[in-house]
Amino acid sequence: MATTSDLLKMTYSDIKTVKTRSCYQIVLEGPIEQMEAAMQLLGAPNPKVERWVAVALLTEAAAEPRGGRYAQQAGILCNEGAFIKWMGATDAEGAANLLRDHCGVVSRAHLDTNETAARKFLDLKADYQLWLRDAA
């Protein structure tokens, strides 16, 4: 029986066929903060040694967190022309993608549930506000 320390909570993001080997790959994504735990649990990939793992759908835990104050602030910022320009994006979606990448989240809603991501967001927001003041 698996313990909670033997489990990794990840999101299913893609599936790919490997035609040369007649198989498929499932791409799972997890927060960068959990990469060390994943490496400790699974070890480094080794093409000489197959390591079988189980995949299960988490129905309750897979629900996306609801966005709170930080997610709302991020959504507003990503629609501001000055923020889009400051982020080096061309549109709101590009700014949102850059913000999520910077904070290490797959959804802005995670800004309210992940302390590391929240800190990165607040630092980013403070840097942007300083840039706004200097630009004025």
Closest to 104 (Cα-Cα) out of 112, 95, 114: 114
Q: Which residue has the higher pLDDT, 44 or 128?
A: 128
Residues 84 and 101 grouped into a single domain: yes
pTM across the whole model:
0.54
Residues 12 and 44 grouped into a single domain: yes
Residues 16 and 44 grouped into a single domain: yes
Residues 30 and 11 grouped into a single domain: yes
Residue 78, CA distances (Å) to 59, 60, 74, 91, 107 in order = 30, 30, 6, 8, 13
In percent, the amount of the chain with pLDDT more than 70 equals: 91
Q: Which residue has the higher pLDDT, 2 or 53?
A: 53
Closest to 114 (Cα-Cα) out of 103, 129, 123, 124: 103
Q: Which residue has the higher pLDDT, 135 or 59?
A: 135
Write down the pLDDT at residue 62.
47
Residues 43 and 86 grouped into a single domain: no
Residues 30 and 57 grouped into a single domain: yes
Cα gap 54→39, rounded to integer Å: 16
Nearest-5° Cα angle at 59, 114 to 115: 5
Residues 58 and 4 grouped into a single domain: yes
Strand partners, 11: 29
Residues 124 and 105 grouped into a single domain: yes
Give the three-state DSSP class for 83.
helix
Residues 125 and 79 grouped into a single domain: yes
**Which range marks the domain in which residue 128 is found?**
69-135
Residues 36 and 88 grouped into a single domain: no
* Final residue before a domain boundary, out of 46, 63, 80: 63
Nearest-5° Cα angle at 27, 26 to 28: 115
Residues 58 and 74 grouped into a single domain: no
pLDDT tens readout for residues 24-46: 999 888 888 888 888 888 888 88
Per the structure, how many domains does the chain have? 2
Write down the pLDDT at residue 7.
78
- pLDDT interval class at 73 (50, 70, 90): very high
Residues 84 and 57 grouped into a single domain: no
